[in-house]
A and B are shown apart, each in its own frame.
Chain A
């Protein structure tokens, strides 16, 4: 590790912050207990129809086909209303069963107008921007993702990506960071002797650490999943899709892994995205079920020290397009969940949702930079000082949004 975060720096960071900000509940536990899972919705989810500006007439004018009806508006039979979060904002009804209970327990906060200063409106470019977390106009180092840098400034961290390919966000770890797709895991095919021989093949190779970590993770994940099949016999319904992955992730993160990343695709809704029901609603149901399955599986004790952040590369056009869908936009809404999260709130700088406040008369503006948000969160979760935070996000002033 490049720079290790020691108890001494923790104490220094505590002193620098002053007592008032040391009250977050994650502080009560040793910092190594903290767990972070970043969930990336790839394809730019239509945040405007998920955390819905129910207070805005302009929203209802702009989306005649797609808008989710206001709470209490008594829409036609078969169409559900938004669930009021406060006077200005509502939640998509597909999240009623999964996320509303967390909101009521004040364990989920939403950060509207969040995103990046990347204006390409390109999925791939902006996903890269977010995962790298480097200044937008500088030259890019594709061997340095922000979660890899975070892992570098923390001690006793065990990062892992629950993806088939290693995501950019974890590129460039001081020690190689593992990735593992959770849907293709079977019984390990190699015996102890063969694994030893293969490790020997790589003893002088730059990939030797990756090989060792690969065997290690393979074993961990298999152990964890075989326990699940035993447990599954006692459960009536076996989960599928993202919920299955999310529950597996929870078990692995309840064990040793404490810095995780997972992505979910299918959010690029240019055509027929639906309103209260339909395509997007179905995706939300699956996402919500997964996240609530994660909460359930990780258990109340660990959940207290766990933070899940749901992000996406950008928002979508505020107005619907001609195909009952939405096109690439700018500002998004991020979700922050956890047992120690100060939730039940809409957090961060806001503007009234109206035509005059749209960015380029098209999209939500970005008022909260994702790096500032994460920086502030990391300071609270891990007690990182300015030097450490600068290693994660160079040149960014962390924003303390008192999320935990």
Chain B
């Protein structure tokens, strides 16, 4: 099975990208360690963990073509039929968000009319349960894509951008919105233009609800969203804007909100033409502050919705935004302390290409600093840890139930859509590798390693388990991973007394954590 000897499967990066030969018989490329890329490391950085099919594809296509495919995937990608069928059967895939939100609102209204306390309590529970179901389904869809999509980088960037433009599912009715937020605001732009992504999040009711801009109106200013746009979403804190800029942006954003009603709001005739509606999004001119603003040193003439687009244009073009976004991406994908030269290259690309995310990612992977920065392997956050384990253990055998994965992630404090504050989950290794977390992770390693752990028992009553054993010692393990193990790991694995224990130890090893 040992087809790919590690040294032979290294990409050379002399004067550009050269595809590696998949054959062990060809001579190893003469590349210095600083400029060679281990394919396993490439997959660690850019996917939810190496799986056999990815490594084959990477070898077949070479890094340049493989990366092209990852950066410019078809709009809809092809999932294994067993995964796609599960997604298609979800209620959130069959009903548009507006209908889900309307259903929930109606149920909520019906609740208020119930007077019997017992009936009321039961109805309240049912109401919460249906909200929870929507978020659970959204997470199911995300997890299936993360595990099985051939365009892995788009899925990783989808997680990254959700986290960057974080919303918390448990605020108000956001659970009915998160699925659509991922699907229509985040994922289509995950590799596209930053400006589009910024605009899409601003137009989504999940964001407007979460950061209270639905309540921001002339005379009733709410700065919350304006502040986080500048501080977290674009320029980054300490990048030169002032409290006054935040206040001015809040004024610009007055009137941007949510409207679920089929009727337009009643407006004075002279304002009627200024109304903007798009799904649940609404710009209500009666709530807007029509005064002029000075934002980031620019004079913005008070004229309605166009001010919002002008402000977002300004924000997306700021060099501070380019630097902030580039750094965040590099920290997420490569290392806690990415070299400044790498960030500089990425931010230059960001500015030259008008914030084209695919180009920024390409600049990152092809930078001479990338190989060395990626060589260490970043300690996996819980999401990457669990998903990489499941990808390795079951390959293309599609799981039938994502609930165990959701439960593991919640226990490890990185559940889907479950970070309360807009800063998103921390990206630094040190947030995830403390003593308490390690102890918990070893327990979860044991659960993943010792059997199918419910992953093959479909959700719902009366379903039977179709257990499958986690095959960690598979072709990928023997062809590539085994050769990278530290001698101590090999020695400890040899002491395992059962395949279950071997799995638990392998998934607990420092080698698999990075």
Chain A residues packing against B (C-beta within 8 Å): 42-43, 119-125, 142-143, 161, 164-166, 171, 176-181, 184, 188-190, 194, 197-198, 200-205, 207, 210-218, 265-266, 268, 270-271, 321-323, 325, 327-328, 360
Residues of A within 8 A of B428 (CB): 142
Residues of B within 8 A of A194 (CB): 446, 501, 504-505
Residues of B within 8 A of A161 (CB): 434, 436
Q: For the complex, give the distance between the alpha carbons of A312 and B69 in Å.
A: 47
**Contact with B238, one of A120, A270, A322 (Cβ below 8 angstroms):** A120
Q: Are A188 and B443 in contact (CB under 8 A)?
A: yes
Residues of B within 8 A of A205 (CB): 510
Interchain residue pairs A-B with the least CB separation, the first 3: A322-B220, A164-B413, A214-B439
Q: Are B488 and A204 in contact (CB under 8 A)?
A: yes
Q: Are A218 and B439 in contact (CB under 8 A)?
A: yes
Which residue of chain A is the closest to B231 with respect to CB atoms? A122
Which residue of chain A is the closest to B420 with respect to CB atoms? A265
Which residue of chain B is the closest to A209 with respect to CB atoms? B435
Chain B residues packing against A (C-beta within 8 Å): 212, 215, 217, 219-224, 227, 231-232, 237-238, 243, 246, 411-413, 420-421, 423, 426, 428, 430-440, 442-443, 446-447, 486, 488-489, 491-492, 495-496, 501, 504-505, 508-510, 513
Q: For the complex, give the distance between the alpha carbons of A299 and B178 in Å.
A: 46
Closest Cβ–Cβ distance, residue B92 to chain A (whole Å): 27
Extra inter-chain contacts (7) besides given A271-B212, A322-B217, CB under 8 Å: A120-B231, A124-B232, A176-B435, A179-B435, A194-B505, A200-B488, A266-B420
Q: Are A270 and B224 in contact (CB under 8 A)?
A: yes
The 21 sampled A-B contact pairs (Cβ below 8 Å) are: A42-B421, A120-B237, A124-B237, A177-B435, A179-B435, A184-B411, A189-B443, A194-B446, A201-B505, A201-B508, A203-B488, A207-B438, A207-B513, A210-B435, A211-B435, A268-B421, A270-B212, A271-B212, A271-B222, A321-B221, A322-B222
Closest Cβ–Cβ distance, residue A127 to chain B (whole Å): 9
**Contact with A265, one of B421, B434, B495, B504 (Cβ below 8 angstroms):** B421
Q: Are B223 and A190 in contact (CB under 8 A)?
A: no
Q: Are B421 and A123 in contact (CB under 8 A)?
A: yes
Q: Are A166 and B510 in contact (CB under 8 A)?
A: no
Q: For the complex, give the distance between the alpha carbons of A143 and B488 in Å.
A: 28
Closest Cβ–Cβ distance, residue A132 to chain B (whole Å): 13
Which residue of chain B is the closest to A212 with respect to CB atoms? B435
**Contact with A122, one of B221, B227, B430, B492 (Cβ below 8 angstroms):** B227
Closest Cβ–Cβ distance, residue A98 to chain B (whole Å): 24
**Contact with A327, one of B222, B442, B492, B509 (Cβ below 8 angstroms):** B222
Q: For the complex, give the distance between the alpha carbons of A325 and B221 in Å.
A: 11
Residues of A within 8 A of B501 (CB): 194
Closest Cβ–Cβ distance, residue B338 to chain A (whole Å): 14
Residues of A within 8 A of B423 (CB): 123-124
Q: Are A214 and B436 in contact (CB under 8 A)?
A: yes
By secondary structure, the A interface counts as loop
Closest Cβ–Cβ distance, residue A44 to chain B (whole Å): 11
**Contact with A178, one of B237, B436, B495 (Cβ below 8 angstroms):** B436
| Contact (A321, B442) CB under 8 Å given A120-B238, A125-B231 | no
Residues of B within 8 A of A166 (CB): 430-431, 434, 436-437
Residues of B within 8 A of A271 (CB): 212, 215, 222
Q: Are A328 and B227 in contact (CB under 8 A)?
A: yes
| Contact (A197, B492) CB under 8 Å given A166-B436, A204-B486 | yes
Which residue of chain B is the closest to A317 with respect to CB atoms? B223
Q: For the complex, give the distance between the alpha carbons of A203 and B439 in Å.
A: 15
Q: For the complex, give the distance between the alpha carbons of A122 and B422 in Å.
A: 11
Which residue of chain B is the closest to A175 with respect to CB atoms? B435
Q: Are A143 and B430 in contact (CB under 8 A)?
A: yes
Closest Cβ–Cβ distance, residue A169 to chain B (whole Å): 12
Which residue of chain B is the closest to A189 with respect to CB atoms? B443
Closest Cβ–Cβ distance, residue A177 to chain B (whole Å): 7
Which residue of chain A is the closest to B237 with respect to CB atoms? A125
Closest Cβ–Cβ distance, residue A5 to chain B (whole Å): 23
Residues of A within 8 A of B489 (CB): 201
| Contact (A176, B224) CB under 8 Å given A123-B421, A189-B446 | no
Residues of B within 8 A of A190 (CB): 442-443, 446
Residues of A within 8 A of B432 (CB): 165
Residues of A within 8 A of B217 (CB): 322
Q: For the complex, give the distance between the alpha carbons of A321 and B442 in Å.
A: 48
Q: For the complex, give the distance between the alpha carbons of A176 and B421 in Å.
A: 26
Q: Are B438 and A210 in contact (CB under 8 A)?
A: yes
Q: For the complex, give the distance between the alpha carbons of A99 and B227 in Å.
A: 35
Q: For the complex, give the distance between the alpha carbons of A188 and B446 in Å.
A: 11
Q: Are A179 and B221 in contact (CB under 8 A)?
A: no
> Which of A165, A178, A180 neighbours the largest number of chain B CB atoms within 10 Å of its CB?
A165
Q: Are A178 and B434 in contact (CB under 8 A)?
A: yes
Q: Are B219 and A322 in contact (CB under 8 A)?
A: yes
Closest Cβ–Cβ distance, residue A325 to chain B (whole Å): 8
Residues of A within 8 A of B496 (CB): 197
